[in-house]
Amino acid sequence: MSKQVQLRRGTTAQHGTFTGAAGEITYDTDRKCLVVHDGVTAGGRPLLDALILTPSGGLSSLQNIASRVAILGGSYSSPALTVTNAAYFGGPTTIGDLLSSVAYLGGTGTVTIDFALGRLQILMPLYGDVTFATANRLVSRVCQVSIPCGATGRNLSFPAGWIFVGGAAPVSIAANKTALLELWCTGSNDTEVIARYSVQP
């Protein structure tokens, strides 16, 4: 290749005070992306490649999108957007359909409710006594656990620190009944887990 073409370029800070001509394209040397200008907007509009390329500050550096974003497509079986880690919404938020992964748990012995696995967790129909434990407790995490019992009633044991509301911690579940266990984390310890248990009449 005998010819080399270079665009005007600068850091993110330099772009912030620069208003390019309408249709001009520059290169952001910090975010490693192209920036399109309209002649009036200081800083221009970085192309979305900035979201998928590793920024110079590493994956932990904050990336800002100054314009509105619309994500189209997707379905209940194939979501258009997946957020792997916790998300923070700093302003008023309207959510239409918010899906969460479903975790399927065992039906006997020690059953660990992992708050990082999703808001709905379903046990197998119980075929033995169950002792509950938890993992990945974090303030503001919530979880609903479906507990179906098989043809024989089973004993239930819960962490000693849980705070039960609406009734005492159950010690058993009757045969062929389904219970719902709702959990709220107010901290990172079992003593900061609030629980509510309700069972089919």
**What is the domain partition of the chain in residue ranges?**
8-75, 102-199
Q: Categorize the per-residue pLDDT at 37 as very low, low, confident or very high, splitting at 50, 70 and 90.
A: very high
Strand-pair category, 172-173 with 154-157: antiparallel
Q: The tokens of 152 are what?
A: 């024989």
pLDDT at position 169 is 95
Give percent above pLDDT 90 in the chain: 54
CA–CA distances in Å: residue 90 to residues 5, 87, 100, 116, 176:
42, 10, 20, 21, 44
Q: What is the pTM of this model?
A: 0.59
Pick the CATH number of 8-75 from 2.102.10.10, 3.30.1330.60, 3.90.1150.10, 2.10.10.30: 2.10.10.30
Of residues 104 and 46, more confidence is placed in 104
Mean pLDDT of 55-67: 63
Q: Categorize the per-residue pLDDT at 112 as very low, low, confident or very high, splitting at 50, 70 and 90.
A: very high
> At CA 149, angle to CA 146 and CA 154, rounded to 5?
115
| CATH 2.60.120 at 102-199, yes or no | yes
Of 42, 41, 15, nearest in space to 29 by CA: 15
Mean pLDDT of 44-61: 60
Mean pLDDT of 70-78: 73
pLDDT at position 50 is 45
